[in-house]
Amino acid sequence: MQKIHNKVLKDTMFYHDIPVLTYKINYPFFETTCSPLAACHINGYYALKAEKTEKNCRTDLYSQAVQAAQYIPENIPPFNSYEFLSDYHIVYNKGCIVSLYTDQYSYSGGAHGATVRSSDTWDFRMGRQINLTEFFPGVQGFPECLFQRIEKQIEDRLKESPATFFEDYSQLLRNNFHAENFYITPAGLVIYYQQYDIAPYASGIPEFVIPFRNSRSPEIM
């Protein structure tokens, strides 16, 4: 099992004394008994990713915020400050395997912000990412077997909550499938889709659990 420390990059940026952008970027720093060299590689991966994200906030996003703030020079009505928040969630940490997802929320005016999710599943013995296909070795018909299980879950959810998915969800879940959009939990694999991929904004980020009895367990990887 790995020990996780939280690292943070944050700031509030101003334009003519108006706070136009606030950002906070949380990212993990790992200690492990599996392979210190692997942990060093993984820590570097997240540190570099956080630095690139901060640079984007301080350049592109800040520039957009300033441009919008210029239309209300007296700050009347008060400018709705742009926001960016990146937060990660460790959802599996057992042996030498860690899985986590990161939600990046951004608000740049309008009725609501948007969230984009990414995820990684790591083998701390080798310092490498584990791919989704490794959980289904030799399985014929992959990923169609996943789609069928997801469709069944959507059908069950629609019975309880109609209109929570787009009508053409069957085609959309295939068209918008990305093999990197998964993580693991003790309950099994979790396949997720981004906002608007297969469902309205109000449905958030749809998640579908595939129990490990239907795939390879991470303990034997």
Residues 97 and 9 in one domain: yes
Q: Answer yes or no: do 159 and 92 share one domain.
A: no
pLDDT per residue as tens digits for the range 132-153: 999 998 888 899 999 999 999 9
Say whether both 156 and 82 belong to one domain: no
One domain, residues 153 and 213: yes
177-210 pLDDT, tens per residue? 999 999 999 999 999 999 999 999 999 999 999 9
Enumerate the β-bridge partners of residue 84: 23, 106
pTM: 0.93
The secondary structure of the chain, three-state, reads CCEEEEEEEEEEEEECCEEEEEEEEEEEEEECCCCHHHHHHHHHHHHHHHHHHHHHHHHHHHHHHHHHHCCCCCCCCCCCCEEEEEEEEEEEEECCEEEEEEEEEEECCCCCCEEEEEEEEEECCCCEECCHHHHCCCCCCCCHHHHHHHHHHHHHHHHHCCCCCCCCHHHHHHHCCCCCCEEEECCEEEEECCCCCCCCHHHCCCEEEEEHHHCCCHHHC
Boundary-marking domain end, from 129, 151, 167: 129
**What is the Cα 194 distance to its own chain's centre?**
9
CA angle 145, 98, 142 (to 5 degrees): 15
Same domain for 107 and 176, yes or no, is: no
Same domain, 113 and 169: no
Among 129, 148, 167, give the residue marking a domain's end: 129
The enclosing domain of 160 has a CATH number of: 3.90.640.20
One domain for residues 85 and 137: no
Give how many domains the chain has, as a whole number.
2
Picking from 113, 112, 86, the residue whose alpha carbon sits closest to that of residue 101 is 86
Residues 144 and 177 in one domain: yes
Nearest to 91 by CA among 117, 113, 66: 117
Are 101 and 200 members of one domain?
no
Residue 38, domain extent = 3-129
- Per-residue pLDDT tens over the stretch 2-56: 999 999 999 999 999 999 999 999 999 999 999 999 999 999 999 999 999 999 9
Answer yes or no: do 56 and 149 share one domain.
no
Q: Could you tell me the CATH number of the domain that includes residue 114? A: 3.30.565.40
For residues 70 and 169, membership in a common domain is answered with: no
Which of residues 129, 150, 178 is at a domain's end? 129
**Given this model, what pLDDT does residue 220 score?**
46
Q: Are residues 93 and 45 in the same domain?
A: yes
